[in-house]
Amino acid sequence: MSLDTALQPTADRPATDLAQLRSQLTLEEKVRLLVGAGLWSTTAVERIGLRAMHLSDGPAGVRGVSEDGAETSASFPAPSALAATWDVDLADEVGAAFASEARRHGVDVVLAPQVNLQRTPVGGRHFECYSEDPLLTGDIAVHVVRAAQERGVGMCVKHFVANDSETQRTSYLSRVDERTLREVYLAPFERLVAEARAWSLMGAYSGIDTGTTAAPALEHRELLHDVLKAEWGFDGVVVSDWVATKSVAAAAHGGLDLQMPGPDGVWGDGLLAAVLAGEVDEATIDEKVDRLLLLAQRVGALEGCEPSGALRDHVHDVDVPDVLRTLVARSMVVLRDEGGVLPLGVDDVATVALVGPNGAAPFVQGGGSAYVRPDRSSTLQDAIGAALGADVDVHAGAVSRFLPPTLDLATRCTAPDGSVGALVEVLDADGTVIDSAVRTEWGGWLREPAEHAASVRIRTTVALREPGTHEVGVGTVGRHRIVIGGRELSTSEQVVGAEVILDSSVNAPAPVVLRIEVDEPTTVELDATVQAVHPVGYASFARAELVHRVPVKSADELLVEAVAAAEQADVAIVVVGTNEEIESEGYDRTSLALPGNQDQLVKAVHAANPRTVVVVNAGAPVVLPWLDEVPCVLWAWLGGQEWPEALGDVLAGRTEPAGRLPWTLPASEADVPVPDAVPVDGVIDYTDGVHVGYRSWLRLGRTPAAPFGHGLGWSTWEHDAAVAGVLEDGSVVVDVTVTNTGRRAAREVVQVYVEPPVGSPSGDRPVRWLGGFAVVHAEPGESTTARVRVDASAFRTWDEERHGWVTPAGTYQLRAGRSSGDLRHTVDVSHPGSRATNPDG
Ligand code: BGC
């Protein structure tokens, strides 16, 4: 296929001839280009003016590529929060913020957005995804990607495809029928190619069984080559997920273009060898090289080329913290507000009891590769105090974290030479020290350049100051010896392989812990030697999670203190939620309950103070058994670095919490249509078919705690009328007139759902599905019209026999309303029907 280079930037060096550039490369050079040069960079060929391109995570900010770990970034709210605004203009601003952050960090391609779907609420990376609905996901993602790329920064959409859970994540196979793939899981990717012209795409760790081909995602020629590249015309680069490439020829033929990271890995030496052996022909390599060069041209990595995109010079015209603060405040979803508790009157609130484990220690980012080291952090106590002009008293009130926290090297530890921190020595196989440093920070993993590192030894003295029971421990995998306080706690000669780095089910065992009773301040020696692991493509790693728990109050004691504080305060704000033990890449959740005794805390605080606002600080759904009992419940997401101030804005009435759920909130775990994500014999069967998310709830006739699309905002609305007009291309425009009947200027998200013709032979179509939406703003008493476009493609279905799209004839009902469960008007639209259009022509 030929690559369209029409987007070539013109700047200093017009019309770079990519084919001519490629012709200057030797075979060895071309092959090297298809393998990363390092963890986050591609290979440079200075001779042809090609510099290395830098790639960096991810969906909640741009982490940056520096080695020292001190680089900070603007921490964005978890992506579901953006989807909860249903606001494509805000998505444009987020795309611009990605571009701005990327440029600040010297990053050419951001490894985002993630457009996998929230098929099950237990999915570990749920918070990284936008929605359980393909249309909402696609709309938001198209705007984010377009806005970033218009500023000359590439986005790498991930993870292609049907990679919707984490258990056994490097090996499972998603079994998805062709129609479900087309209508649901491929749909956002297809739009990103067609409407945003995404410059790159990441192939998943997992595999796909379409019924005709079962293969790892990176080897899936039917999907990568036939559908993505040939049918849709994707002209970007297919990047492997990190260390996901398992084969040389199969992946090369499958459609993978760039193995990341490098320079090792199976393509490291293997790809050249495969070409020389005739297993992969040079034309296949050339086609991939052309894609790489086009990407380089687009991001400005070729000498003489400026980054491509109409707005490339406007990349810094973004006040990123301001965008993030508005975004996360607006994204908050009012689940319930009996009697208009929100906003809190600034004049009548002098004292606040801020209660809850997440009130004391907010959880603003999910775990895993999405994590960035934030530019700034603030406390809820300060932010809410400032917003309300009130005294804020903080009480954890409950225990919700169960693993001992990380040992603080900077405040508790002394290295053998007397300096603050821990001595970290890297040893070779003979036990000779080849590197040594005193560290005051330790993230649990050590990344060392030394290729011949065999083990890492950590020594420090830990100060135990508080009376009571301390716990000091180390978690690790593989060969190790752990001695604390002179006692050998654990030893193993078992050697582990590189795969442990990606598989949390094996790389995060509970730490071995020594409990120490302390009367007077004392110290304890910690001495741990752990195996260095050498993942192909990464530098060596050693995992040694150093933990320390100070004596803590019991959950009951905490509860009593919090309730007493709530009784005394003008208002109680209870912040409950999940934490890094629950929501992360690398594992799925095992329960939808709030961890610990948080449910009990909510009920007790509400009994003590009827003026209680509950704030849920979580990304993915949790069951809220008290939802109908407390007056006011706000879903506030994992809000990133601006979260405390944004919550202050909402509570004080500066910004409307205008969010609408981008997923379904279950009332009980037993109701959830897809309750787990555990492969059976390595396979996850997508038996729910096209009935993803709310569609299954509707089909099964189950009532959730809050339906997809629900959110009350801070006003009330009447939906006066809906009229529809059909456009020439079969799209329908629905004009919905709404009136703000409340007392505050507010935003309304008008949603239009499509229902299939009654009795039509259209097969197993959902009860209803989202067809379009629009956000409007109105002053109190004002009426306005929301124009919702339902694209012609909303009516079509995939015909498996003809392998093409078809629109069954009949009268479709377009149902307009406030959520999938609150529909106010219906308009009928008759469609003459269309025969299958085979994408192959
Ligand atoms: C994740 C990707 C991420 C990559 C690089 C992988 O483990 O699945 O989403 O972009 O690491 O950090």
Per-residue pLDDT, 566: 98
Q: What mean pLDDT comes out for the span 311-322?
A: 93
Q: CA–CA separation, 38 vs 655, rounded Å?
A: 44
Angle, CA 409 vertex, CA 406 and CA 415 arms, to 5°: 140
Query: Taking a C-beta distance cutoff of 8 angstroms, is the pair 641, 73 a contact?
Result: no
Any ligand 1 atom below 6 A from CB of 538: no
Per-residue pLDDT, 7: 36
Mind listing the pLDDT tens digit for each residue in 215-273?
Answer: 999 999 999 999 999 999 999 999 999 989 999 999 999 999 999 999 988 999 999 99
Any ligand 1 atom below 6 A from CB of 63: no
Name the closest-CA residue to atom 8, ligand 1. 241
Any ligand 1 atom below 6 A from CB of 166: no
More confident residue, 537 or 554: 554
Strand order through the sheet with 834-837? 797-799, 804-807, 834-837
Per-residue pLDDT, 4: 39
pLDDT for 324 beyond 60: yes
pLDDT for 6 beyond 80: no
More confident residue, 405 or 333: 333
Per-residue pLDDT, 35: 97
Any ligand 1 atom below 6 A from CB of 242: yes
Q: CA–CA separation, 308 vs 6, rounded Å?
A: 11
pLDDT for 732 beyond 70: yes
State how far the alpha carbon of 53 is from the alpha carbons of 32, 44, 60, 110, 623, in Å. Answer: 14, 8, 21, 11, 44
Per-residue pLDDT, 377: 94
Atom of ligand 1 nearest to the CA of 158: 9
Cis check: omega of the bond before 780, within 30 degrees of 0: no
More confident residue, 832 or 577: 577
State how far the alpha carbon of 51 is from the alpha carbons of 33, 88, 482, in Å. Answer: 11, 34, 45
Element (H, E) at 578: none
> Fold for domain 320-401+554-700?
Rossmann fold (3.40.50)
Name the closest-CA residue to atom 11, ligand 1. 242
Distance between Cα 126 and ligand 1 center (Å) = 14
For 409-549, CATH gives 2.60.120.380
Q: What mean pLDDT comes out for the span 124-143?
A: 98
Any ligand 1 atom below 6 A from CB of 111: yes
Name the closest-CA residue to atom 3, ligand 1. 369
Nearest Cα neighbor of 627 from 354, 344, 400, 337 is: 337
Distance between Cα 369 and ligand 1 center (Å) = 6
Q: Give me the active site residues, please.
A: 241
Structural domain spans, the chain: 320-401+554-700, 409-549, 717-837
Q: What mean pLDDT comes out for the span 613-617?
A: 98
Any ligand 1 atom below 6 A from CB of 325: no
Mind listing the pLDDT tens digit for each residue in 789-821?
Answer: 999 999 999 999 999 999 999 999 999 999 999
| 305-319, 741-755, 827-841: segment of lowest average pLDDT | 827-841
At 115, the pLDDT band (50, 70, 90 cuts) reads very high
At 495, the pLDDT band (50, 70, 90 cuts) reads confident
Per-residue pLDDT, 505: 65
pLDDT for 534 beyond 90: no
Per-residue pLDDT, 839: 61
- Out of 507, 585, 587, 588, mutate this one to test ligand 1's pocket (max ligand atoms within 8 Å of CB): namely 585
pLDDT for 14 beyond 70: no
Q: What mean pLDDT comes out for the span 195-207?
A: 98
- Out of 161, 242, 372, 502, mutate this one to test ligand 1's pocket (max ligand atoms within 8 Å of CB): namely 242
Any ligand 1 atom below 6 A from CB of 158: yes
Q: Which CATH class is domain 717-837?
A: mainly beta
Per-residue pLDDT, 453: 86
pTM, to two decimals: 0.94
Atom of ligand 1 nearest to the CA of 112: 10
pLDDT for 834 beyond 50: yes
Per-residue pLDDT, 841: 42
Q: Count CB neighbours of 166 within 10 A.
A: 26
Per-residue pLDDT, 520: 96
Query: Which segment, 12-16, 316-320, 504-508, is predicted with the most confidence on average?
Result: 316-320
Q: CA–CA separation, 346 vs 794, rounded Å?
A: 46
Name the closest-CA residue to atom 2, ligand 1. 241
Q: What is the mean pLDDT of the chain?
A: 93
Portion of the chain with pLDDT greater than 70, in percent: 95
